[in-house]
Structure 1
Amino acid sequence: MLVKWIRCGVIDRAGFERGQRKWAGLLGEPGFRGQGGGWSRGQPGVAHLFSIWDTRAYHDAFMAGSHDRLAAAQEGTYESLGVKLFEHRLDVKVGFRARFADTDVLRLMHCKVRPDRTEHFTLMQEKVWNPAMAGSPGMLRGVFAQGPDGDFLVLSMWDTATERAKYREGPVARLSERADLEADVLAVAGDVVDVVQVWTV
């Protein structure tokens, strides 16, 4: 399974949102599982989108085919666009589904992991972080995925922002120490995304 993360620095919010609805055209694309996203809480004007595909080959075929036609609706509405691709490694909590309709908030963590620590980092995700998130009320499901050059993404879906805040305020520091996170990572960046349901495909 391929997880595509798209980060947009938006300059025309209304135009961007109108164009975002055009991505409903993804339905019926071979290998497409679902797409959703919304606005960053911490970075004004930033939108995050996550598109899930069965395989890289299906995604690449879409990029060579229908993509440009769908993307044209948002031309001129953003000043920056970043795209990263990740391969699924682990589910968080239950079998991951590309479903955003029941989700209020997304939490993303983007980690740059030291080359000699990727196995340990993955093991700690499985043994420490995943059980902690899975036991948190309000946490629906998530995915742990790996990109090139030590890039990792943890995407978790929450039914309310209140429940996610409780998890953040609770065990995160203790879990970081237990997982020896500082020894594994070169950099960690995160964001909280308020899901816009009309963007869900």
Structure 2
Amino acid sequence: MLVKWIRCTVVDRPAFERGQRKWAGLPGEPGFRGQGGGWSRARPEVAHVFAFWESRAFYDSFMARSHDRLAAAQVGTFKDAEVRLFDHRFDVKSGFEPRFTDADVARIAHCVVREERAEHFALMQRKVWNPAMAGSPGMLRGLFGESPGSEFVTLSLWQSAAERGKYRADGVRRLLRRAETETDVVRLTGDVVQLDPAWSV
């Protein structure tokens, strides 16, 4: 599965939100699996959108055919758009599905990892971070993805910001030490996203 993450700074919120509803046409596209998103809880002008496709071939076909027509409604409503693509490597918890209607917030973590430490980083995600997150009340499901250049993404969906906050408070420093994250990672950025049900496709 291909994971697309879009982050942008919105300059016309009402028009951007109207345009976001145009993406309701996506389910007819071959290979489309789901889409959702919302607003950064830390920076309310920043929007995040997560889209999922069965494969890169289906995604490339969509981009060549239908993307520009659907995207036209949002032209001029945002700036500083960053688009990143990741290949799904494994689930966090189990049985990831690109559904957003049962979640309140999403947590996105983007890591650039030292090339020689990439496999260790992925192993620690599976052995240390996954069990900790999967055992946290309120954590619904998530995924771990990879792209060339030793870039990784972890996306997790939570029932509420309060539940996600409990996980954060529950020994993250200990997990960081155990996973040797500081040794592996060159740069880590992330955000907590207040999901908007109207953006779910």
TM-score, normalised relative to structure 1: 0.99
Letter in 1 for 2:80: S
Distance in 1 between residues matched to 2:31 and 2:54, nearest whole Å: 5
Percent identity, aligned pairs only, is 64
Matched ranges for 1:1-201 at <5 A: 1-201=1-201
Which 4+ stretches in 1 moved above 4 angstroms? none
**Deviation of 1:32 (Å):** 0.4
Distance in 2 between residues matched to 1:44 and 1:19, nearest whole Å: 18
Query: How many aligned positions are there?
Result: 201
**Deviation of 1:59 (Å):** 0.4
Residue 63 of structure 1 aligns to a residue whose secondary structure is helix
Letter in 2 for 1:81: A
**Deviation of 1:79 (Å):** 1.6
Letter in 1 for 2:93: K
Letter in 2 for 1:15: A
**Deviation of 1:44 (Å):** 2.9
**Deviation of 1:19 (Å):** 0.2
What per-residue deviation string (whole Å, max 9, x for no partner) do you get for residues 123-151 of structure 1?
Answer: 00000000000000000000000012111
TM-score, normalised relative to structure 2: 0.99
What per-residue deviation string (whole Å, max 9, x for no partner) do you get for residues 2-44 of structure 1?
Answer: 0000001100000000000000010111110000000001123
**Deviation of 1:161 (Å):** 0.8
> Gaps spanning 5+ residues in structure 1: where?
none
Letter in 2 for 1:9: T
**Deviation of 1:170 (Å):** 1.0
Residue 96 of structure 1 aligns to a residue whose secondary structure is coil
